[in-house]
Amino acid sequence: MVKVAVIYYSSTGTNYQMANWAAEAAKEAGAEVKVVRTEELAPEAAINSNEAWKKHVEETKDVPVATSDDIEWADAIIFSMPTRFGSVPSQLKQFIDSQGGLWATGKTANKVVTAMASASNSHGGHEATLLNFYTTMMHWGAIIVPPGYTDESAYESGGNPYGTSVTQAQDGSMVENVENAVKHQARRAVEVASKIHG
């Protein structure tokens, strides 16, 4: 059975929802799955100044925080993150940057990795965030599995070949219909991981 870690950072819930869709599809594909979040690093004042952010932090306080053990355990890792100025948010970057011990001992090599993103507007850094993230995965020696255009769902979700991405409207809703694309991407990661680690 392929082991899949879904590791996400979400401030107001979009990437949490995407992570859960990915986990659901990976389980349906026969994988053993865990969903974990990266630690929230933003100051309390910033979180409390945004009602949606404050609410989401409270609602997800019982979701386990990601550790190095999750990466070592997994055959495949699905990451989901918002963009921060076209790059990876600090909450996820801090987690990735703390994995030097695993990397140095070869424990990140051959992990099947795929990633998803969100932004508050359609040209807000979706693709740049994923490409920046995948650069780090190349250093890890991971096997990057993008969705490409391997399923019709890519077109209904906005057509990002690097990873499913979604625009979050001001009311917090998702602009594009990405559920099918997220699930296809997760199934694809499980399929590739099963060929490599099966």
Q: Per residue in 65-112, pLDDT tens?
A: 999 999 999 999 999 999 999 999 999 999 999 999 999 999 999 999
Reply yes or no on whether the pLDDT at 171 is more than 90. no
- Across residues 140-157, what is the average pLDDT? 96
In this prediction, residue 170 carries a pLDDT of 86
* Structure confidence at residue 189 as a pLDDT band (50, 70, 90): very high
Please choose, from the candidates 169, 168, 163, the residue with its C-alpha nearest in 3D space to the C-alpha of residue 127.
163
Q: 3-197 belongs to which CATH class?
A: alpha beta
Average confidence (pLDDT) over 158-177? 93
Assess contact for 114 and 162: CB atoms under 8 A. Answer: no
Average pLDDT over residues 119-124: 91
Query: Which ranges of the chain would DSSP assign to H, the alpha helix?
Result: 14-28, 44-48, 51-59, 68-73, 90-97, 100-104, 126-140, 153-156, 179-197
**Of 97, 131, 94, nearest to 115 (Cα)?**
131
